Structure 1
């Protein structure tokens, strides 16, 4: 019993000492000793930090000419009408027409394209129709966007760059998705090259309607 009492007294004394020494005296902002600081201090440089390892003293460096980032696929056509026509004549969809690719193309189209082009490609997406904002504090009409021309052959709509929308080739559709046209912005940041080709595949299906 004496030994147990002694150990208990020692434990209590250690606990009291730890509490007392942990209390600050309100004169210092020191956090005390730090354990294994090298485990949470970053070894690498942040992009905006000075870096003496480079001649210009910057961490963020411009990639060497001709290099391609991992996962990036270069599209060797500029965002011009001339290259739009050239892409239309030279570029074809590299993906096989499968049910899986079509299904994924449809899903991507409904997420990124149908809001303007409509679920069936008729140019009747919800953003082109009358809409209202209703809340507790206000009720007002939202701006309508002009409907894009229909992809469907039965509608016989013309492209703003000439020819029927139903006759647009793989390359022309892919070029437009990549660079945008008129009020449609580029979707290159939203869709990877493979995803763009799947959307192209689904749009080609809509052209047959």
Structure 2
């Protein structure tokens, strides 16, 4: 008798659960915008109410700077280079200077042109893709001038400010001075 009650109870629960399902009127949706996204057509014009005053894009607020942007006080001019060469010093402490990390970054970004020992005979110079890459030992360079050139670029060398953070550029500058001293 008890098993008949159990079977009846289970059967009744199954009917109750099955009767709640209705394909025409689905249950409540949590976060309905995840299920029914409003998609935009490629290259379609946006509705006027999406952007302020009907503009296609918003301008940043006056005086704002990009997240993570660190201002550099030296202008991208020959005078700025001379000032950086004379006055700019590394903010890294002795503990923060990491020769291994500087060497690793140098081998990623610099070795193809400047060579492993800083003699200006990297693979691209050997293959005559670039000519006139300087030897560090022949140049009068300081950590400030190296950092400046990494930040802005000079002559055929482009800027590495997008590839390396400020800290990483200082590590490479420190490593280049060690190459020059060898």
Q: TM-score range by the shorter chain?
A: 0.7 to 0.9
Q: Deviations over 1:71-125 (max 9, x none)?
A: 4321111211121112112211222345852222222111221122122212222
TM superposition score normalised by structure 1: 0.65
1:34 to 1:57, Cα distance in 2 relative to 1, 3 A: farther
Which of 107, 114, 122 is 2:111 aligned to? 114
Q: Deviations over 1:6-60 (max 9, x none)?
A: 12322443465467x34x7xxxxx9x4452227969xxxxxx98355xx787874
Question: Is 1:86 aligned with 2:83?
Answer: yes
Aligned to 1:133: none
CA RMSD of aligned residues (A): 3.3
Query: How do residues 38-117 of structure 1 correspond to structure 2 at under 5 angstroms?
Result: 50-51=50-51, 60-65=58-63, 67-98=64-95, 100-117=97-114
Contact 2:97 2:174 in 1 (8 A): no
- Segments of structure 1 that go 5 or more residues without pairing to the other structure are 25-29, 42-47, 131-142, 157-164
Shift of 1:4: 1.5
Aligned to 1:7: 9
Shift of 1:168: 1.0
TM superposition score normalised by structure 2: 0.73
Q: Distance in 2 between matches of 1:97 and 1:195?
A: 15
Aligned residues: 168
Contact 2:150 2:169 in 1 (8 A): yes
Aligned to 2:146: 173
Q: Distance in 2 between matches of 1:186 and 1:169?
A: 18
